[in-house]
Structure 1
Amino acid sequence: LEVIRALQEQNIQVPTILMTAFGSEELVVRAFRMGVRDYVIKPFEPGEMAQAVERALAEVRLRAERDRLVAQLEEANRRLQQQVQELNVLYSIGRSVTSRLDLETVLTRVVEAAVFLTRAGEGWLLLLDPESDDLVLRAAKNVDKKRAQGMRVRIQDTLAGQVLQSGEPLLISEGQTKVVTGYLVHSLIYAPLRTPERGTFGLLGVAHREKPRSFTTHEVRLLCALADYAAVALENARLYEETETARRKLEAVLRETDEAVIILDPQLRILLCNPAASAALRISTDVVGLPAAQVISNRTLLDLFFNAARRRQSLYAEVSLPGGRTYNAHLTPVEGVGYVLMMQDITHLKELDRVKSEFLAAVSHDLRTPLTTIRGYVDLLERVGPLNDQQREFVEKVRRSIAHIAALIGDLLELGRIEADYDLEMEPLHLEAIIDAVVDSFRPLVEEKKLTLYWEPKPLPLIRGNPRRLRQVMENLLSNAVKYNREGGWIAVSADQQDGYIIVRVADSGIGISSEDLPHIFERFYRGQSQKVEEIEGTGLGLAIVKSVIEKHGGRIWVESQPGKGSVFTFLLHMENSPPALRPLTPREA
C-alpha cells in the first residue's frame, strides 16, 4: 500500500495489481479505494496472474476509450453551442432586417455581430459613394472615433476595390495589411454587399489589429451571411424610400385632381379615398380600412364593386349622386392591389347635350313647315307650264335636296325623341326575332347588290327593350353594311349570350373605317373623310341614333375596323335579370 500511495503522490497513473498473502477483506477494500485494479492471493498460478493483468489492461483500454469519447462529446457540444450561438445571432440580425428599426441601428448591429462571431478585434461597413467612387464608412465597432470620422477607402489599387470589382470575399491571415493610410492590420476578411439589381455596392470587414490571429474559412462564411443581411437591409431601405416617394407623389396628384378616386383591396376595403371622392359621395376621408359597403350607400356603385369582384374585369356605370351630379364611373381590377374606381363628373356634358338636343329638336320642328311649302311649290312647277330639260334637271336636284333635308330633320326629331325617352316603353322580348325580321326585309336589297348575307337565328334569353327602337338599330346597322359594301361582298350577323348579356355583331367586307374616323364614328353629323364615303348619301345621324338607343337600353356599342378590310359593329344588352347599370368595358375603352 505504501508503494501505491507513493505513485499517487507523484501522480503516476499505472494499472496496479495487489499480490498479498493475506486475504483480509479490509485490506482489499483499502487497496481498491487507492486505485488498485485487481488482486491475487499467494500462492497463485501463473495463469491466474495473467488473467488479472489482462483484466487490468482491458479496464485501462476501456477507460481510455471512454475518456476519448467524452472529449469528443465535449468538443461536439462546444461546437454545437457555438453554432447555436451563431444561429441565434444570425436570427437576431435577420429579424432586425425585417423589423421597423431604422437603418443605422440595423447596420450597427450587423457590424457588432460580425465582430462577435468572428472574434475579431474590430469591424466596419463601407458603402460605395457613386459621386466620388470611394468607399465611405457607414458603421463601425472598436474603430477609433477619430479614424472612423470621415474614413474613406479608395477603390483604385486597394484590397477593398479588388473585392468590390470581383464580388468575392477576401481572406488575408499573414503579415501586416493596409486598410487605409496609417491603418495596418494583422489579418483581415472582406465580404461583399451585393444584390442582383445593384451588383456589389459595399463591403463588410473585420480585422485583428492588436493581436495576431488567423481567421478561418468558417468565419468567412459567417461574415458573408452577415454581409447578405446588410445588403438586404440597405436594399429594403432603398425600395422603401422609393415607394414612399412614389406614394407621396401619388397622394399629391390624387389630392389635387378633380376626378374622384377610390382604391379598394381585394376584399373591397377602402385603401384610399381622395378629397374629390369624399366630396362627391359626401363621406369622410378618414375611411381607410373600412368595407366599402359600410361607407358608400349608392346602390349603383355597390353593384359595380360586387360585380367587379365576381367577374374580375373592368366595368363601367353612369352614376347619379346627391345634388343632381352625374358621374362616369370606371372600376378596374389592379393586380396586387385590388380595384381602382375613377369617377369623372359629366354633369355639365349631360346638360350641354340636353340643351343641344332641345335646340336641334326645336330647329328641326320649325323647319318642317317651310320645307313642306317648298316641296309643294316644286311639285307645282310642272303644272304651271312645260319645263325644258335643263329646268327639269334643276327641279329634280331641288327635289332630292328637299328629300335629304327632310330625312335629316326626321332623323333629328327621332334622335330627340329617343334622348327624351319618348316612345321608349320597355317590355320583355326575344331579340333574335327582331333581328330575323330585319334581315328578311333587307334580302332584296342585298341580292340587288349581289352580296351574301349570313344569319343563323338561335333561341336567346329574354331582354327588356323597345321593339321599335331595337328594330331601328338593326335597320341602321344593316343599311350601312349594304351601302358601304362592295358588290359581291358579304355581311354576317350573329347574336350570342355571355355573362348575362346578349351580344350582337354586324360584320361586313366593306370599305372599312380609318383610324382617324373611328373615334368620331358615333358623333352626330359625322361622316368619314374619305372620298368613297362622301360619294354615298347619308345624314350622319344613323349611328348616333343607334348609339343613343343602345345606351337608353343600358347597353353599349363599339366598332372595330380597318380600311379596306371591312367593319364589325358590336353591341351588348343585358338580359332581363341582369343589372342594367353595369357592363364590361369595350375594347376601345379598355
Structure 2
Amino acid sequence: MLERNAFSKMGVSGFAMQIEQETALGAYAPLMLEHVPAGIALFDAHELRLLAANSRYQDLLEPQWQHGHALGRRLIEFLPRAAYTEIAALFQKVLETGVSSRLEGYATPACMNGTRYWDYSLEPIAEQGQVRYVLLTVTEIIMQLQAQKIAKQAKTALAQAQQELELEQQRHEHEETILLSVRSIVEPQAFAQALLRAIDTCFSPHLLALYSTRSEQGKLSLLAFHTPENWLQATPVLPALLVGTSGGSLLQAMQQRTPLIKRTSQERETGQKESREKDTLLALPEIACVVYLPLWRAQGAQCEGVLVAGFATEEELDALVVPTLSACVPHLTEALAETWMHAALADERQRLRTVLDQLPEGVILVEAQSGKVSYANPAAAGLLGYALPHLVGAPLNQSAMMSPYRFPPAHQQSAFRWNFALIHALWGKIIVNEEIVVSRPDGSEIVVLSSAAPIRTSHGLITEAVMVFHDITAKKQLEQQKNEFFVVANHELRTPLTAILGYAELLQLQFPEGADAMQRSAINRIAEECEHLIHLIHELLDVSRLEHARLELKKQYLDLLAPLSQVVITQAQTTSMHRLHLTLEELEPVDSLMGWFDLLRIEQVIRNLLSNAMKYSPSGSEIEVGVRPRRDAQGREQEVMIWVKDQGMGINALDMPHIFECFYRAATFDRTSISGFGIGLYLTRQLVQAHGGRIWAESTRGQGSTFYIVLPLGKIP
C-alpha cells in the first residue's frame, strides 16, 4: 500500500509539480508519464471516480470518453457494462483487502477500439491507514500473447516433428528388418516365407500373402502365406480361399500400380462407396482392412506379383504400415526377380548336370580361384580311376593326382598329365584334341583324347576351366595293329610284287614281234596291276607316316609351272579314256611360278586329283587342269591356284564334308565298280596343308566336280 504522496485531485500535472519539488527531474515527470508504454490512472476509493490518467489509458476508452472527457467521472459511467463488472469486482477486492491485485490477460470488449489483451494492476494508496485512492496500471500484452502463441505453435510443431521423426525412425527400422531378412536368399519360396515372417515381426498383421506372376499359366498364383496359428485354426477355409484368389483386388492393384487399401468401413480413401462383399478377404472375421501392394519392377515392364496384408485395426495403417511397405517394394521387387533368375539358373544348371552325368565322355570343371575340382561326371571319375566323391573338391595339385608318370610310347604325341591340361586352360590356353596318357591309381594306363578351355566372364575374367575327354585306348591299339600291318605289308608284299613286276617287264622285252596277242595282253595286265599295288602300298605307308608326324617334305625353291605342265602331258599320253588339257590363265607357257615345294609330293597331289577325276568321269569326257596366279595390290604373285575339273557324276551334298577323311568313300557310288581305299584325297589334303596351302571342292550331283588348290609362292619357305 502506498501513502498518498503522488497523485491528487490536481491530476498528473500536480503530481509532476510535487515530484519537481523533490527531485531535479521533476520537470520531466509529465513527459515521462505520457510516454510510458502502460496506461496509468488514479481513482478515488470512495466512488471510483477517475482523478487523473495519462494518454495511454485514455486511448483504451471509447472515443467519446477520450481527451480528458472521462476525468471526474465514475468508473461505471465511462466503462462499458461488459467490462465494468469484472473490473469493478477487482477494485472492490483491493478496497476490501487493502492489498494490490492483478488481472492478467484481460480482453477488452470489441467496442473499446477492438478486442485487445491487457494486464491490469491495482495498487491501493492509503492516508492515515485508510485506502483513499487506487492506482491502476494497464499494460497491453498483445506481443507477449503473440510470442506465447508462436511458442505454443512452435512447441506443437516440435512435438509433431518429434513424433514424425520417431515414426520415420520406426519406418527405417522396419525397412531394415524386412530388407535384411531376404538379403541373401536366392530361392523364391524361401524368400517369400522370410519376407512374410519379417513383416509379421514388424506389424503383427492377421494375414500375409505373397502372390507371384511367374506361374506356368502366367497368372497370379499364391507363393506363400503367413497367419497366426490360432487364427488359422479358427479360419480353416483360409488356405483354400488364398489359393483360389487370383483376380479382383489383386488385378486392381496391379492395374493402378500403387498400394490399394480396402477397409471394412464403406468409405475408401478416394471417398467412393464400396461394399464389403466385393473383397473376399474383407469378409474374413477380425479383418478390418487389407493392403494390396503391387510389385512392379523399376522399368515398369514386369510385375513380379502382389503383397497382401490384412489387419484387425486401421491403427498406424496410413502413418506407418503403408509408407514402410511402399518404401520396401522397389527393393523387394528386384530381389524377388533375382530369386527367380537364380531359380531358373539353378534349374538350367541341374538340367545341364543331368545331361553331363549321362555323357560317356568325361567332363571336369575346375575353379580358378581355388584350383579345386568343382564338378566331375561319373564318366570322368571312371576314366581317371577315382571315386567321384574323392575327385570333386580335390585340388589339381593333390598328391594322388601326381602319381609317378611314365612317358608315353613313341606312337603317342603328348607327354604331360591330364591335370596339366586344366592348369594350362586356367592360364588361358585352349587345348584341342590332345592325346594324354592317364596313369590311374591302380597302376593301369589309358590314352584319352582331351580338349580344355578357360571359362570367362563377360569382362574376360577366367573363373573356371573345363576339360572334356574320352578313352581312345582301343583306337590307339587298333592303330598300332594297323601300323604293324602296314610294316608287314610293306615288307611281305612289296618284295614279291617287285619280283613279279621285274619278271613281267622282262617277259615284255623278250616277246618277239607277232607273238600271241593274248599272252602279251596278260603280261601287260600283270605289270599294270603290280604297279597299282606298289602305288597303294606307298600310299598306305604315307598315311602311316602322316599319322605319326614322320612324313618329311624335301622342299626346294623351284618353278612349279613347268613340272606341273609335264605331269598333265604325261597323264594325257598314258590314258586313252579321257581328254586332258591344261588351261593357263594370266600366264604364258614360258612363265614361271617360283616357290618352296617338294616337287615329288606336288606331282603326287596332281596325279591323285587326275586319277580321282578319271575314276569318277565317264569315258570320253574332258578333264581340265587350270593354273592361275594370285597377285597383291602391287601385282606381285602371292599364291597360285590350281584346279582339276571333271564332267563326272558329281558329289552328293551329304558326302561333301567327309571326302577328305581317311578311308572315306561316298555311299552313293558303286564301290564294286570303282576301285580304291579312300586314302587318295586324304593324302592330297595333308600334302597341300604341309605346304601351307588350302584345298576344297565344289560339286553338283550329276554335273561334275572341281577341286581347288591354293599354294603360297615366294622366296620365304
TM-score, with length taken from structure 2: 0.55
Q: 1:355 Cα deviation (Å)?
A: 0.9
Q: Which amino acid aligns with 1:180?
A: T
Question: Structure 1 residues 345 and 517 mapped into 2: Cα distance closer, same or farther (>3 Å)?
Answer: same
Task: Please point out which of 123, 129, 144 is paired with 2:207.
Answer: 123
Q: How does 1:285-300 map to 2 (within 5 A)?
A: 285-286=389-390, 288=392, 291-294=395-398, 296-297=401-402, 299-300=416-417
Please, which of 364, 381, 384 is the counterpart of residue 511 of structure 2?
384
Cα displacement (A) at 1:392? 5.8
Once the two structures are overlaid, the 10-residue window that deviates more, 415-424 or 518-527, is 415-424
User: Aligned to 1:96, which of 154, 176, 181?
Assistant: 181
- Are the counterparts in 2 of residues 124 and 206 from structure 1 also a CA contact under 8 Å? yes
- Residue aligning to 2:466: 340
Query: 1-side partners of 2:631 and 2:487: how far apart?
Result: 33
Cα 1:5–1:278 change in 2 (3 A) is farther
For the pair 1:177 / 2:262, whether they are aligned, the reply is no
Corresponding position of 1:576: none
Q: Residue in 2 aligned with 1:110?
A: 195
Q: CA RMSD in A?
A: 5.6
Instruction: Classify 1:136/1:529 alpha carbon distance in 2 versus 1 (closer, same or farther; 3 Å).
Output: closer
Q: Residues 295 and 305 of structure 2 are in contact (CA less than 8 Å); yes or no, is this contact kept in structure 1?
A: yes
> Structure 1 residues 86, 547: closer, same or farther in 2, change over 3 A?
farther
Residue range with higher mean Cα deviation, 509-518 or 182-191:
509-518
> In structure 2, what residue type is equivalent to 1:177?
R
Match of 2:450 in 1: 329
Q: Is the CA contact 1:127–1:203 (under 8 Å) kept in the aligned structure 2?
A: yes
Structure 2 CA distance for aligned equivalents of residues 435 and 534 of structure 1: 41
Shift of the 66–16 alpha-carbon distance from structure 1 to 2, 3 Å rule, reads same
1-structure distance, mates of 2:325, 2:559: 81
5 Å matches for 1:130-141?
A: 136=222, 138-141=224-227
Matches within 5 A, 1:125-274: 125-127=209-211, 136=222, 138-141=224-227, 144-145=231-232, 146-147=234-235, 149-153=238-242, 154-155=244-245, 158-163=248-253, 169-173=259-263, 174-175=265-266, 176-178=275-277, 179-180=279-280, 182-183=283-284, 186-193=288-295, 202-209=305-312, 211=313, 216=318, 220=322, 222-224=324-326, 226=328, 243-244=345-346, 246-248=348-350, 250-251=352-353, 254-255=356-357, 257-267=359-369, 268-274=371-377
Give 1:338 shift: 2.4
1:362 has 2:488 as partner: yes
**Post-superposition offset of 1:140:** 2.9
- Please list the CA deviations of residues 431-460 of structure 1 after superposition, one character each: whole Å capped at 9, or x if unmatched: 9x93745857755458962356997869xx
- Report whether the alignment pairs 1:76 with 2:161: yes
Secondary structure of the 2:160 match is helix
- C-alpha distance in structure 2 between counterparts of 1:474 and 1:218, whole Å: 89
Q: For 2:157 and 2:605, locate their aligned partners in 1 and report how far apart those are by CA, in whole Å.
A: 93
**1-side partners of 2:216 and 2:599: how far apart?**
71
> Is the partner of 1:191 in helix, strand or coil?
strand
Kindly state the Cα deviation for residue 152 of structure 1 after the two structures are TM-superposed.
1.6
Which of 603, 619, 626 in structure 2 is aligned with 1:488?
626
Q: CA deviation at 1:319?
A: 0.6
> Is 1:516 equivalent to 2:516 in the alignment?
no
Deviation of 1:3 (Å)? 4.3
- 2:626 is paired with a residue of what secondary structure? coil
Change (3 A) 1:412 1:249: same
- Greater CA drift, 476-485 or 271-280: 476-485
Match of 2:497 in 1: 371
Give 1:341 shift.
0.2
| Count of residue correspondences | 510
- 1:25 corresponds to which residue? none
Shift of 1:357: 2.3
SS at match of 2:157: helix
Counterpart of 1:28 in structure 2 is none
Cα contact 1:137–1:152 (8 A) shared by 2: no
- Report deviation, 1:410: 2.1
> Which stretches in structure 2 are left out of the alignment for 5+ residues?
1-98, 107-115, 126-134, 267-274, 406-415, 458-462, 570-581, 614-622, 633-637, 700-704, 713-717
Instruction: Assess if the C-alpha contact under 8 Å between 1:97 and 1:232 holds in 2.
Output: no
- Report the alpha carbon displacement of residue 352 of structure 1 after superposing the two structures with TM: 0.6
Higher relative contact order (CA 8 A, sep 6+): 1
TM-fit CA distance, 1:473: 6.5
Corresponding residue of 1:402? 530
**Contact conserved, 2:207 with 2:309, CA < 8 A, in 1?**
yes
Partners of 1:473 and 1:78 lie apart in 2 by 97
- Counterparts of 1:21-40 in structure 2, within 5 Å, are none
Q: How big is the shift at 1:407? A: 0.7
What is the rounded CA distance, in whole Å, between the counterparts of 1:156 and 1:422 in structure 2? 75
| Contact 1:137–1:150, Cα closer than 8 Å, also in 2 | no
The superposition leaves residues 235-266 of structure 1 with CA deviations (integer Å, 9 ceiling, x where unpaired) of 55555555555555555555565433210234
Residues 179-213 of structure 1: per-residue CA shift (max 9 Å, x gap): 3284275543212356799965743223455x466
- Aligned to 1:150, the other structure's residue is in SS state helix
Quote the residue 2:37 is aligned against. Answer: none
Counterparts of 1:423 and 1:549, CA distance in 2:
9
CA distance in 2, matches of 1:416, 1:255: 36
Larger-Rg structure: 2
Preserved contact between residue 15 and residue 60 of structure 1 (Cα < 8 Å)? no
Shift of 1:388: 7.0
Q: Is the 8 A contact 1:93 1:229 kept in 2?
A: no
Following superposition of structure 1 onto structure 2, how do residues 41-80 of structure 1 map, counting pairs within 5 Å?
57-58=142-143, 60-80=145-165
**Structure 1 residue 277: deviation in Å?**
3.4
Whole-Å separation in 1 of the counterparts to 2:602 and 2:630: 12
Contact 1:357/1:416 (8 A) holds in 2: yes
Report the 3-state secondary structure (helix = DSSP H, G, I; strand = E; otherwise coil) of the residue aligned with 1:326.
Answer: strand
Deviations 1:312-366 (A, max 9, x none): 6453311112233111011133344622101111010000111122223323432
Deviates more, 1:282-291 or 1:68-77: 282-291
CA contact (8 A) 2:643 2:707 kept: yes
What's the offset of the Cα at 1:95?
A: 2.5
Distance in 1, matches of 2:673 and 2:566, equals 19
1:588 maps to which residue? none
Cα distance in 1, alignment partners of residues 631 and 477 from structure 2? 36
The answer to whether the 8 Å contact 1:513/1:566 transfers is no
Q: What displacement does 1:404 show?
A: 1.8
Cα distance in 2 for partners of 1:330, 1:556 equals 25
Secondary structure of the residue aligned to 2:181 is helix
SS in 2 for 1:333: strand
* CA deviations over 1:24-70 (Å, ceiling 9, x no partner): xxxxxxxxxxxxxxxxxx999xxxx9xx85xx655554554454445
Q: 3-state DSSP class of the match of 2:510?
A: coil
1:292 alignment partner, SS class: coil
> Deviations along 1:507-556, whole A, 9 cap, x unmatched?
655569765335544544445578899999977434555788999x9x99
